Amino acid sequence: MSLPPRQRVWTTPSDVELCPVDSLEDPGSRNIVLQIGEAFFHGFLVRKGTQVHGYVDRCPHAGLPLARVLDRYLTPDKQLIVCAWHGALFQPDDGKCVGGPCSGASLTSWPVKVEAGMVVTA
C-alpha cells in the first residue's frame, strides 16, 4: 500500500518561532520544514552578520530543493547560495540568480525577522 504524496505549501503564518539567531553560523544556512495542517512548507535560512534571510527551498530552474546535503545551501566560501543540482548561484541578500542555468531569475523570498534573539516568520 503506497502513501499519498505529501502536500506542499509555499507560505507560512506569521510569528512562528524558528530558531535562536545565535544557533545559525555566521555566515551559515539551515533547512526548515514546517507542518501546516496536513501540508508541509520547506524553506531555508541564510545568516550573514545581523541579517537573516529566508527562502522557499525550490530552485527556479528545475523546481528541486537546492541542497543535496541537509543545511548546505552556501558555496564553500559561504558567499553565495548554490543549487547543488545544476550549479545555479544566488545572492544571499535578495535571492537573485547571478550565475548558472536560471541567471536573472530569483529564489522565492520567505519573510522572516529577528525578534528578541529569535528568528520568526514575518
Which residue range is the domain that position 39 belongs to?
17-115
> What's the grid cell of residue 45?
535560512
Q: What is the Cα–Cα distance from 1 to 4, expressed in whole angstroms?
A: 10
Q: What is the mean pLDDT of residues 91-117?
A: 96
Asked if residue 8 is part of any domain, the answer here is: no
Q: What is the DSSP letter of 6?
A: P
The structural domain count of the chain equals 1
pTM above the 0.95 mark?
no
**Residue 36 reports pLDDT greater than 70:** yes
Predicted local distance difference test score (pLDDT) of residue 1 = 64
Asked if residue 74 is part of any domain, the answer here is: yes
Q: What is the mean pLDDT of residues 58-86?
A: 95
**Residue 91 reports pLDDT greater than 70:** yes
Beta-sheet pairing, 97-99 with 51-56:
unpaired
SS3 23: helix
